A and B are shown apart, each in its own frame.
Chain A
């Protein structure tokens, strides 16, 4: 009995070590707030730990964790809407600041500036998306998840995921000035 518990604990520790950066990244890109993303990541793994025994491995641990993270994020936005007086987000990063992290690569200065501008525009468009569209978009284009994984993590059908993704891309395209 104690041996089984120990094994489960070790297994969970390995899951945390493997998936924590990705969960944090998803929450950071969704909330744009480092402290909030850290708090929600902690909450996500706390919740996962409590329910670890009920995880039957029907989906991957990552998909299961992502589902918890999406729900936590939803709860957070719902609570924020209630707290209408909280306008400021002290640690929120300005839109353009996220683009400052773009690796320079082997681009010229001009190309770098253009790339940063484009990233800023994508970021702005993502902010304007609905909560569901944003989640689907980030899972697809930042986390590079397959449509089936996104469907399992969000609890939507693949068709709905495709529709949300299509609309989200259209809006990003519009923000970028309809480039073709």
Chain B
């Protein structure tokens, strides 16, 4: 039963609404109201911590922590980029060296082939010049005798 209705001495709307209302349900609702009132009063009067009351040292620490964190992140990121750049440069120079080496080998092979051709031609010339017709054979004999007296 709601107290202020009782005091007013008139039939409460609550009773009018719920004619089946009994004392047990009534008591449960009254206790519910009392507990909510007590809870609310305690919560309303609880000490509150002001946000502005954060100690300056804590703010300073927080700021320093953030700054350090940012520096570490930036350092890590730039080291990664630098390492990547270095690796790329190394790969490029290795590729250039390999290409140069290949070019030299090709050149060497070419020179060798040219040399072989020249040797072959010289040998052919020499062989051709040593073959003497039969009619000139006596003169050749004379030249050999002159060379080996």
Within the complex, the shortest CB–CB distance from B83 to chain A, in Å, comes to: 39
Within the complex, the shortest CB–CB distance from A61 to chain B, in Å, comes to: 19
Query: Interface extent on B, as a size class?
Result: 20 to 34
Q: Could you give, for residues 28-48 of chain B, a 1 whenever the CB lies within 8 Å of some chain A CB and a 0 otherwise?
A: 110111111111111110100
Q: Could you give, for residues 143-180 of chain A, a 1 whenever the CB lies within 8 Å of some chain B CB and a 0 otherwise?
A: 01011000000000000001001100100110010011
CA distance A105 to B130 in the complex (A): 143
CB-CB nearest in chain A for B22: A180
Within the complex, the shortest CB–CB distance from A79 to chain B, in Å, comes to: 23
Contacting pair B18 A102 (CB below 8 A): no
Q: Could you give, for residues 49-87 of chain B, a 1 whenever the CB lies within 8 Å of some chain A CB and a 0 otherwise?
A: 000000000000000000000000000000000000000
Contacting pair A101 B39 (CB below 8 A): yes
Answer whether residue A99 sits at the interface, using C-beta atoms and an 8 A cutoff: yes
Contacting pair A119 B17 (CB below 8 A): no
Query: Interface extent on A, as a size class?
Result: 35 or more
Known: A28-B40, A166-B17. A102 touches B34 (CB 8 A): yes
Q: List 25 A-B contacts (CB under 8 A).
A: A21-B40, A24-B40, A24-B43, A25-B40, A28-B36, A34-B43, A34-B46, A98-B36, A101-B35, A103-B35, A115-B28, A118-B27, A118-B28, A119-B31, A123-B32, A126-B32, A141-B32, A142-B36, A144-B33, A146-B13, A162-B17, A173-B25, A179-B22, A180-B22, A180-B24
